[in-house]
């Protein structure tokens, strides 16, 4: 089998056409630069961010002497109830994303108010805990806010990977946090 390159616009023995410096209309790439663009160009992309939420010091937190029994019960109920844990992790990611979005997402994401952190979690907790925390929020918002903040601060999110996907072509590029770029399918 010959290893010579076919001349431009000729096929090799496998039937593959050799590429040339001219486009299909016979223009070189530099000619294309002078051609005006008559319509806007719009390419849809999707940004997928992979986070991990961790509670690194749960035992130490539960052993704190000034933690009330109700706060301890709430924390345990959250970490042992999959739906409540899932909801608080969503809120942790959203809150961290709004604090860290000084650039592109500034003003587009809004974290829940401190009073609203437990809102998506309450339906998944035992009735007595729901009643206690709803009553505390109504009667003593300062105490409510203090304990909810302390509990919520135990859930730390971290960005692990970002995928940028060209939705029209299905191509994606993965960006690992503090790592390199990897092409994906």
Taking each helix axis as running N to C, give the angle between helix 69-80 and helix 82-99, from 0 to 180 degrees, rounded to the nearest 10.
100
Q: Give residues with Cβ within 8 angstroms of 92, minimum separation 6.
A: 53, 152, 155, 156, 157
> What share of the chain has pLDDT > 90, as a percent?
25
Q: Write the pLDDT tens digit of every residue in 151-182.
A: 989 999 888 888 889 988 888 888 877 655 55
At residue 185, the pLDDT reads 43
Task: Say which range, 43-57, 66-80, 108-122, has the weakest mean pLDDT.
Answer: 108-122
DSSP 109: -
Residue among 57, 148, 13, 86 nearest 94 (CA): 86
Task: Say which range, 5-9, 137-141, 143-147, 151-155, has the weakest mean pLDDT.
Answer: 5-9
pTM score over 0.95:
no
Examine the pLDDT at 15 and tell me if it is beyond 50.
no
pLDDT band at 104 (very low <50, low <70, confident <90, very high): low
Domain ranges across the chain? 61-154
DSSP 123: G
Residue among 62, 76, 48, 65 nearest 159 (CA): 48
SS3 for 71?
Answer: helix
Q: Average pLDDT over the chain, rounded to whole? A: 77
CB 25 within 8 A of CB 19: no
The more confident residue out of 27 and 130 is: 130
């Amino acid at each position: 089998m010959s290893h010579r390159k076919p001349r431009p616009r000729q096929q090799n023995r496998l039937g593959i056409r050799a590429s040339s410096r001219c486009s299909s209309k016979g223009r070189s790439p530099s000619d294309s630069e002078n051609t005006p663009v008559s319509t806007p160009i719009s390419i849809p992309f999707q940004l997928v961010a992979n986070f991990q939420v961790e509670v690194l010091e749960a035992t130490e937190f539960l052993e704190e002497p000034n933690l009330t029994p109700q706060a301890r019960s709430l924390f345990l109920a959250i970490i042992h109830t999959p739906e409540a844990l899932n909801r608080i992790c969503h809120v942790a990611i959203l809150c961290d994303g709004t604090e860290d979005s000084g650039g592109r997402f500034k003003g587009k994401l809004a974290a829940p108010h401190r009073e609203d952190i437990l809102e998506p979690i309450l339906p998944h907790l035992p009735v007595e805990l729901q009643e206690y925390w709803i009553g505390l929020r109504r009667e003593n918002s300062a105490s409510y806010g203090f304990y909810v903040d302390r509990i919520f601060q135990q859930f730390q999110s971290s960005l692990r990977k970002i995928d940028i996907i060209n939705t029209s072509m299905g191509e994606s590029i993965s960006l690992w946090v503090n790592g390199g770029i990897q092409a994906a399918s």
